[in-house]
Amino acid sequence: MKRNLLLCCAVIVTMALAVLLTSCQENNSAGRIITVMNPAIENKMVDRIPMTAPRLDTLDGKTIYLVDINWGGPDAAYSVFEEMKDWFEKNNPSANIIIRRKAGSYTADDPELWKEIAAKGNAALVGISG
C-alpha cells in the first residue's frame, strides 16, 4: 500500500515537472528573457561604528523623547508611545517624557527635531512600534 502511494506521488510529481518544463520552454521560445537575481553578497559588509553616547545613570529628572518616525502612517504607532509615556508617569514620575512625530515620511530627515532633541533632551527612543 505504501509503495503504491509513493509510486503514485512520484508519477504525479514527474508529470507536474514535465508540464512546468514544457510551459517554460514554450514561453522562452517566444523570445522572452528571464532575469534571476543572485542574493549572495558580493562585497564586504560596511564597518560598524560603535555607539559612543554614554548611558544615563538614572532617568530621574531627565527628558526623554519618544520619536514616532511615521512608519505605517500617522496612526500606526502613536498609541504605543502614549502607553510608554503612561508607564513612565506611573513608574518613574520624575522623568519628563515628550512624544514627537518626525516630519515627513520615515525615510526623510528631520534636522529641526534632531536639533531640539540635542538641545533639550537627555535621551531619545527613535523608531517604529505598534
CB proximity list for 125: less than 8 A, separation 6 or greater: 64, 65, 66, 67, 84
Cα 106 from Cα 63, distance rounded (Å): 23
**Predicted pLDDT of residue 23:** 58
**Predicted pLDDT of residue 46:** 75
The grid coordinates listed for 38 are 543572485
Give pTM, 2 decimals.
0.60
**Secondary structure of residue 63 in the 3-state scheme:** strand
Check if the beta carbon of residue 76 is closer than 8 Å to that of residue 41.
Answer: no
Q: What is the DSSP letter of 15?
A: H
Q: Measuring CA to CA, how many Å separate 58 from each of 23, 44, 55?
A: 66, 39, 9
CB proximity list for 81: less than 8 A, separation 6 or greater: 66, 68, 99, 129
pLDDT level of residue 30 (50, 70, 90 thresholds): low
Q: Give per-residue pLDDT as tens, 50-94.
A: 877 788 999 999 999 999 988 877 777 788 899 999 999 999 999
SS3 content of the chain, % helix, strand, coil (to 5): 40, 15, 45
Cα 70 from Cα 125, distance rounded (Å): 14
**Secondary structure of residue 14 in the 3-state scheme:** helix
Q: What percent of the chain has pLDDT over 90?
A: 35
**Predicted pLDDT of residue 3:** 60
The overall average pLDDT reported for the chain is: 80
